[in-house]
Structure 1
Amino acid sequence: MRVKLCLALGLAFVGQTVLAACGGEEGMCETETGQYQIELPAAANPPLVVFMHGYGGSGTGTLGNRSMVEPLLERGYAVMAPEGAERNGRQSWNFFPGWEGRDEAAFLTEVVQDAAERFGVDPDRVVLSGFSAGAFMVYYLACAAPDTFSAYAPVSGGFWRPHPQTCEGPVRLFHTHGWIDNVVPLEGRILGGGRFHQGDIFAGLEIWRIANECADTKPSGFSTSGQFMRRNWMGCAEGSALEFALFPGGHTVPKGWADMMLDWYEGLPGG
């Protein structure tokens, strides 16, 4: 039976209370620049999935998504849910270049190292993932410093305009997005009365192909896995991997995502 370190009571459904815990104690795990929650499988030195919540979300809400968390734990992965910092009165992530606020790359590195020291997770086998604003954060961190974690798996989020001119590479990235997502549409949308503009997801994939030194824009392969329609780019720079999965739903983490993402990650060299 796996050890659950973060959910003390029940599940995150309406009318139920979820208490955060750290190492079996009430309260979140505290580091110098923030907080996180974590659940561990029974195995020692497990790999780790760090999953960042969306705008206005929380780590408790992330761990309440049991259809996502349970498959990760069952396959031997620890699941970390870090807490975003306050932005405009709600928790989110300081992802856009030039914004003032917490150094999120430093914070995420800090919490992974803290979890390695406290709980024995493997800091060399970390998938950084996130939903919506959390996925924006994944994109920008992977673009600036792809060696920070071993792979990246954003869900329903990408770059904002103006898109980065270039990204560092190679990167190992698996992007999942909903066909009818109207919060982060595939084409992007204008926010804040024109002050912000979400980017085009397909333009973002082009940036990743360039970072990975792919010789052709054409995908190397196409496949379907249940509801997911997938395409990938192989034969690019050594150590790179790029895949895109589209599903028929909207702005959500779709059922089946966890197993699909881990199948991809475990199929990578060193995954």
Structure 2
Amino acid sequence: MKNFIRAGLLGCLAGFATQAAACSTETPCPVGDRAYYVAAPEGGTQDGPAVVYIHGFGGSGAGALRNSGMVNDFLARGYTVIAPDGVVREGRNGRSWRFHPASGGQADEIAFLQDVRDDAIARLGLNPEGVILAGFSIGGSMTAYTACAAPESFAAYAPLSGNFWRPHPAECAGPVQMLHTHGWRDGTVPIEGRVVNRVERDRPDAFAQGDIHYALGLWRDTNGCTDYQARSFDTSTPFWQRSWTGCESGSALTFALFDGGHVVPRGWPDLVVDWVEALPAN
């Protein structure tokens, strides 16, 4: 993978990795006016991989780490779990992300996630080329928009139950390694998307989720895949996987379906890690 550490990071944070990490599942590490939380594997974080996990609508970084089943599965595979805070929802509990094309704040969010990445690499001594970005629901959407606009920010991307919203992007910046996972019976973010505000569907100001199949087509174009159809299939686990081959070197695209709704399904962390570890070395 290409080096994605911004110029000057190692100089300005020299020696920071050797300091005791102050952050934990309950104690935040500040980044600007927000923060992130950390769950570390038993073997420590030095030179290890990590997943930056983006919470869903109304959640928080600390709250995301209370999903002990998900977190413990990643930890058991040696992955540090880093959970950043979204933006405060004015007048409401919880946090969210400036994910929507009309929000005007996507670039700020991507810069924040990059700052979280840089801070965690320096503070925890992580492997810079082993940090992936994943997220659930609106967190999955934020994952997709980051991959689209700044694909070199993370080693790979694993959105769950969320991807682009309407209007879909016209194009993305470059090839990515992406595993999109979705529940077959998801009614909150259906595979085809839905209108979520109270306006007529065809109005231009409709606040509407995107179509996952359309998103996959955009990702195929982004990765330079030669075929519309997938050529590789795996139905040996609860996650039925379709993977596209014949794409640009260094890219990857897999779509995984499970029999469920709008949830983080059991086994998803292992699915993600198995997929990442099977990727060819760049």
> Which structure has more RCO (C-alpha within 8 Å, separation ≥ 6)?
2
Offset of 1:116 from its aligned partner? 1.5
User: Which one-letter code corresponds to 1:180 in the other structure?
Assistant: R
- 1:137 maps to which residue? 142
User: Which one-letter code corresponds to 2:185 in the other structure?
Assistant: I
- 2:229 maps to which residue? 218
Q: What is the number of equivalent residue pairs in this alignment? A: 251
Distance in structure 1 (CA, Å) of the matches to 2:32 and 2:187: 37
Distance in structure 2 (CA, Å) of the matches to 1:47 and 1:62: 19
Whether 2:108 is the aligned partner of 1:106: answer: no
Distance 1:25 1:222, change over 3 A: closer
- TM-score normalised per structure 1: 0.88
Distance in structure 2 (CA, Å) of the matches to 1:158 and 1:99: 16
- 1:148 maps to which residue? 153
SS at match of 1:36: strand
- 2:65 maps to which residue? 63
SS at match of 2:129: coil
- 1:91 maps to which residue? 95
Whether 2:267 is the aligned partner of 1:251: answer: no
Offset of 1:61 from its aligned partner? 2.1
Offset of 1:87 from its aligned partner? 3.2
Deviations 1:41-88 (Å, cap 9, x if unpaired)?
224221110001100011122111121111211111110011101234
- Structure 2, unmatched stretches of 5+, are 1-20, 200-205
Offset of 1:25 from its aligned partner? 9.7
Identity of aligned residues (%): 50
Distance 1:198 1:25, change over 3 A: closer
SS at match of 2:208: strand
- Asked whether the 8 Å contact 2:23–2:37 carries over to 1, the reply is no
Distance in structure 1 (CA, Å) of the matches to 2:169 and 2:271: 28
SS at match of 1:190: coil
Distance in structure 2 (CA, Å) of the matches to 1:106 and 1:156: 23
- 1:7 maps to which residue? none
Distance 1:86 1:26, change over 3 A: closer
Distance 1:135 1:26, change over 3 A: closer
SS at match of 1:176: strand
Distance in structure 2 (CA, Å) of the matches to 1:24 and 1:161: 36
- TM-score normalised per structure 2: 0.85
Distance in structure 2 (CA, Å) of the matches to 1:168 and 1:128: 17
SS at match of 1:128: strand
- Asked whether the 8 Å contact 2:151–2:175 carries over to 1, the reply is yes
- From 105, 114, 124, the counterpart of 1:119: 124
Distance in structure 1 (CA, Å) of the matches to 2:266 and 2:53: 15
Distance in structure 1 (CA, Å) of the matches to 2:27 and 2:146: 28
- 2:40 maps to which residue? 40
Deviates more, 1:177-186 or 1:158-167: 158-167
- Asked whether the 8 Å contact 1:87–1:93 carries over to 2, the reply is no
Distance in structure 2 (CA, Å) of the matches to 1:162 and 1:96: 9
- 2:212 maps to which residue? 201
Distance in structure 1 (CA, Å) of the matches to 2:114 and 2:240: 32
Whether 2:207 is the aligned partner of 1:230: answer: no
Distance in structure 2 (CA, Å) of the matches to 1:22 and 1:212: 39
Distance 1:36 1:23, change over 3 A: closer
RMSD value, Cα: 1.8
- Structure 1, unmatched stretches of 5+, are 1-20
Distance in structure 2 (CA, Å) of the matches to 1:181 and 1:203: 17
Offset of 1:188 from its aligned partner? 0.4
- 2:3 maps to which residue? none
Distance in structure 2 (CA, Å) of the matches to 1:236 and 1:127: 20
SS at match of 1:185: coil
Distance in structure 1 (CA, Å) of the matches to 2:168 and 2:32: 32
